[in-house]
Amino acid sequence: MSAEPRTPAEARARDAVRALPPPAADAAFRARLKADFVAGSIAPPVRAATIVPLRSAFTWRRAFVPLAAAAAAVLVIAGVLNRGAPWHLMAVAGDGVAVVDGVPVPLGHADELARRLVPGARVRVPETATVELASMGTLAIQLTPGTDLTVPAVPGRWWARRVAAEIRSGEIRVTSGRRFKGARLAIETPAASVELSGTTLAVICDPEGTCVCVLEGHARVGPRGGAMMSVPGGMRRFVFLDARAPELATMREIEHVKLGEMRAQYADAMTK
């Protein structure tokens, strides 16, 4: 396409500009430029900043979000698979009203009692009844009349293998199963700290202190915050509430009988 014809005024202006002499170089500028060239200090030309498109800036988010979601899903699935067998209400003998987390529950309402007896729940058994819980293949716990217990969690299959319970009064009998191998149950009483790992025992809160009778296996027993020692099967350790030193002796005969009966009762359930 040919250029549009110029007006006479535009043509004269063009000719006047072309007739101007070339501008003379500034002497100071030429000297400074020569010195910079010799010294090699002439800076490279400044490049314009690169602007990253908004779409590119958020590409990492599109990649990260699915990965994070997948990782979260894996953790959830792993957590579900790690759970041990839940507690089941196995038996209630006697009558009366249990109190679970401050809520009265008649012992005749077995479904409601079972629903409330979850890890962390505090249960007070009436003086006229016995309650038994079991996690198949892992643990069975018998709560005797008058027991005040915080129900422990069930040990995980691969991690979270140490669980804890607290007894404020009364007595519990415990027997462990095949799935409990490598796990720990820590029990706190007003006088003592107890830790068991594969055993059958009774933890008894007396007015004077805590007695731990071990039928089989072994348990570590000591004053709260004090040194613990291993108590083997057939023995008991009594930890006093006052400043007296703990006593080690042969286990109570009645507990030998009761724990033997409990072990036999749950033999099949503890091998699942």
pTM above 0.85, yes or no: no
Using an 8 Å Cβ cutoff, are 102 and 124 in contact? Answer: no
CATH value at residue 174:
2.60.120.1440
Taking the C-alpha atoms of residue 159 and residue 83, their distance in angstroms, rounded to an integer, is 9
169 assigned to some structural domain: yes
Is 79 within a domain? no
Assigned domain for 193 exists = yes
Q: Which residue has the higher pLDDT, 80 or 56?
A: 80
The answer as to whether 209 is a domain residue is yes
Q: What local confidence, expressed as pLDDT, does residue 8 receive?
A: 74
pLDDT tens, 92-124?
999 999 999 999 999 999 999 999 999 999 999
**Residue 139: inside a domain, yes or no?**
yes
User: pLDDT tens-digit profile of 214-269?
Assistant: 999 999 999 999 999 999 999 999 999 998 999 999 999 999 999 999 999 999 99
- Residue 264's domain comprises 85-271
Q: Is residue 188 part of a domain?
A: yes
Tell me the pLDDT of the chain averaged across its residues: 87
Number of domains in the chain: 1
Question: Is 98 inside a domain boundary?
Answer: yes
On whether residue 164 sits in a domain, the answer given is: yes
* Cα(171)–Cα(236) distance, integer angstroms: 14
Could you report the per-residue pLDDT of 169-221, keeping only the tens digit for each?
999 999 999 999 999 999 999 999 999 999 999 999 999 999 999 999 999 99
- What pLDDT score was predicted for residue 164? 98
